[in-house]
Amino acid sequence: MVASGEATPAPDAGSRARSAGEAAFGPDWKPAWRASAPGRIELLGNHLDYNGGPVLAAAIDRSVVVLADGGGEPGAVEAVFADTDRSREEVNAAELGDWRNHGAPSGPADYLRGVIAEAGARGNALRSPARLALAGDVPLGFGLSSSAAVCVAMVLAAVERPPGGADLVRIAQGAEHRAGAPVGGMDQSASVAGGVVLFDGETLGVERLEPDLGQYVFAVVDSGVKRSVGASAYPTRVREARQALDLAREILGEDVPNAASLRRQHLEALEAAAQRDSRLRRELLKRLRHIVTETARVEEGVGAIRAGDWAAFGHLMTASGRSSAMDYEISHPKVEELVGETLAVDGVLGARMMGGGGGGTALSLLERSAVERLDATLRGGYYRRYEMADRPDLIQVCRFAPGAVLESLA
């Protein structure tokens, strides 16, 4: 993932992790394992994963790296985080027990506790003692699932016999839940699988796709508004979606497996029932409308990818963003302003807010030749208005990347 469409060397996360580990643990720290997990972009399917729906997502060429050795105090897992304050965090797995954070995650140490507690609860033995050093090139608060990459990489590094596939996804997802972020499984699934995937929120299954982008690229466009899943409207939307599903089951008299299995006729029946049943508040109907229409957009999007119809896919992206902003109400005014300005640039096929909401980035699908034009337009407009025009890497072109991996360094 690079600025302005041309390759530039990304900071070496592995080297930063090694330097931080040596500084924290001393010269006897000799990492024996290297775990890495990529971030992701969500192409279509916003907020569908925890609603049991399909999501089109892709792992990208930014990752979190964890280096680990087998030293330290018996029974303890120690960690240092190169990209924060480099302070050492020590966790005794036996004393941690069934730990859960009762607020939003305060940093990577909460995800470490979540990984250890969730792995233990699922019967996975830890590498203990172990000393971990973590660094990453997945920007925090950017909507690229840095937290999922952190958790996947830490599971691979910290668990004695690391799981793969859906088991790895479940532990990483459970770790985020324990840390205070009630996320679905799409972020972790994309990070584990790599490439472009169609994710099934009900089964956690993934189907790999092999799209040919041709002259087009996906670019992540920074809004300057930092976000955090645990502190955003995300937990509220999770609760609302569950409440809406419970009411839909009761009113329809059907055993609906999940909200994403509802179809247009169900939505129309519920809208009619809302005239008589005050429990189906306007905002709950709007949440269901987004889920129903977004599910249909993903289904159309799969067809567009397979046909190589990127113009159609761009239209679906833009519609997804509008639904996310208007019906699911998870966007931010500045992000929508950025999306509008992006869509006005010649060569842009589609743009939408991305991720949990409340800030972060917009995702754009555009001609490769239009990247510099978009950069110039935004620096003369949105970025100038918000005093961001002097910042580098505001537009980052994404390349699809392989999934998470654990390597032996011994």
- Residue ranges of domains in the chain: 9-210
The dihedral over CA atoms of 276, 282, 285, 287, expressed in degrees to the nearest 10, equals -160
Average pLDDT over every residue of 158-172: 94
Banded model confidence at residue 143, pLDDT cuts 50, 70, 90? low
Weakest-pLDDT range from 82-91, 174-183, 216-225, 343-352: 82-91
> Which two three-digit tokens encode residue 357?
């909401």
Active site residue: 187, 222, 327, 375, which one? 187
The dihedral over CA atoms of 71, 74, 80, 86, expressed in degrees to the nearest 10, equals -110
Average pLDDT over every residue of 29-47: 95
**From the DSSP assignment, how many helices (H) and strands (E) are in the chain?**
13, 13
Peptide bond into 402 cis (omega under 30): no
Average pLDDT over every residue of 325-332: 96
- Residue 350 identity: G
363-395 per-residue burial string, b: 16 or more CB within 10 A, e: under 16: bbbbbeebbeebbebbbebbbeeeeeeeeeebb
Q: Which residue intervals of 308-370 are DSSP H helices?
A: 310-326, 333-343
d(CA 55, CA 44): 6
Over 60: is that where the pLDDT of 3 sits?
no
Banded model confidence at residue 7, pLDDT cuts 50, 70, 90? very low
- The CATH number, out of the four listed (1.10.1370.40, 3.30.420.40, 3.30.230.10, 3.40.47.10), of the domain defined by the range 9-210: 3.30.230.10
Let me know: does 118 contact 64? Beta carbons within 8 Å.
no
How confident is the model at residue 72, as a pLDDT?
83
d(CA 21, CA 12): 14
How confident is the model at residue 86, as a pLDDT?
67
Report how far Cα 34 is from the mean position of its chain's Cα atoms.
22
Over 90: is that where the pLDDT of 18 sits?
yes
Banded model confidence at residue 9, pLDDT cuts 50, 70, 90? very low
Contacts of 222 (CB under 8 A, 6+ apart): 142, 361, 388, 391, 393, 394, 395, 396
Q: Kindly state the DSSP code that residue 170 receives in the 8-state scheme.
A: H
Over 60: is that where the pLDDT of 5 sits?
no
Length of the chain: 410
- Calculate what percentage of the chain has a pLDDT beyond 70: 94
Let me know: does 220 contact 354? Beta carbons within 8 Å.
yes
Average pLDDT over every residue of 23-34: 94
Residue 222 bears catalytic tag: no
More confident residue, 409 or 142: 409
Q: Kindly state the DSSP code that residue 10 receives in the 8-state scheme.
A: P
Over 60: is that where the pLDDT of 231 sits?
no
d(CA 207, CA 204): 10
Phi-psi region of 341 (alpha: psi -120 to 50; beta: other; left: phi over 0): alpha
Most distant CA pair in the chain: distance in Å?
A: 71
How confident is the model at residue 8, as a pLDDT?
38
Nearest to 235 by CA among 50, 44, 361: 50
Over 80: is that where the pLDDT of 1 sits?
no
Q: Which residue intervals of 197-281 are DSSP H helices?
A: 234-252, 264-273
Banded model confidence at residue 229, pLDDT cuts 50, 70, 90? low
Q: What is the residue-averaged pLDDT of the chain?
A: 91
Banded model confidence at residue 139, pLDDT cuts 50, 70, 90? low
Nearest to 301 by CA among 233, 340, 352: 352
Q: Kindly state the DSSP code that residue 55 receives in the 8-state scheme.
A: E
- Residue 333 exposed, middle or buried by CB count within 10 Å (0-12, 13-18, 19+): exposed
pLDDT digits (tens, 9 = 90+) for 66-84: 999 988 888 889 999 998 7
pLDDT digits (tens, 9 = 90+) for 90-117: 998 888 989 999 888 888 889 999 999 9
- Kindly report the number of other CB atoms within 10 A of residue 276's CB atom: 8
Write the CA distances from 244 to 120, 229, 247, 250, 398, integer angstroms: 33, 21, 5, 10, 35
Let me know: does 171 contact 179? Beta carbons within 8 Å.
no
Q: Kindly state the DSSP code that residue 88 receives in the 8-state scheme.
A: E
Over 90: is that where the pLDDT of 232 sits?
no
How confident is the model at residue 226, as a pLDDT?
81
Determine the straight-line distance between the first and last CA of the chain, rounded to whole angstroms. 30
pLDDT digits (tens, 9 = 90+) for 363-392: 999 999 999 999 999 999 999 999 999 999
Contacts of 45 (CB under 8 A, 6+ apart): 53, 54, 55, 56, 57, 186, 199, 294, 295, 297, 298, 320
Let me know: does 153 contact 115? Beta carbons within 8 Å.
no
Nearest to 188 by CA among 205, 167, 165, 172: 172
Over 50: is that where the pLDDT of 6 sits?
no
The shares of helix, strand and coil residues in the chain, as percent rounded to the nearest 5, are: 40, 25, 35
